[in-house]
């Protein structure tokens, strides 16, 4: 009888060891799957972050180009204004009209109204 009990106990221990080994293997597989999933998600997040940073950099560069272009256009406008804006005076004894445009002086002794 004791041999029979020993055989039953040995069989139970063997089955328990097999079930335990199977459970351990299952947990190892689940942990690997979870680690793989985490790595994939981290990679996706890093790719999105890199794409976002590249887009941000592109937009910042475009803004810098537009700001430079606007600054240049403003400078050109200021130059045009200074060229177009002149001064006129008629303080001379001979009654001549003096016009100064871009540092150049022009004198007009006779002038007439513009025709419509």
Residue 89 in this model has a pLDDT that exceeds 80: no
Q: In percent, how much of the chain has pLDDT > 90?
A: 59
d(CA 58, CA 51): 10
Tell me the per-residue pLDDT of 12-57, one tens digit each, with 9 for 90 and over: 999 999 999 999 999 999 999 999 999 999 999 999 999 999 999 9
Residue 42, Ramachandran bin (φ over 0: left; ψ between -120 and 50: alpha; else beta)? alpha
Query: Bridge partners of 106?
Result: 99
Mean of all residue pLDDT scores within the chain: 86
d(CA 40, CA 33): 10
């Amino acid at each position: 009888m004791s041999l029979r009990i020993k055989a039953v106990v040995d069989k139970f221990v063997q089955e328990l060891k097999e079930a335990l080994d199977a459970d351990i293997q299952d947990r190892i597989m689940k942990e690997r799957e979870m680690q793989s999933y985490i790595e994939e998600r981290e990679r996706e997040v890093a790719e999105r972050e890199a794409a976002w940073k590249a887009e941000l950099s592109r937009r910042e560069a475009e803004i810098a180009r537009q700001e430079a272009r606007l600054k240049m256009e403003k400078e050109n406008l200021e130059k045009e204004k200074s060229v177009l804006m002149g001064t006129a005076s008629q303080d001379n004894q001979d009654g001549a009209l003096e016009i100064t445009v871009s540092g150049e002086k022009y004198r007009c002794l006779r002038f007439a109204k513009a025709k419509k």
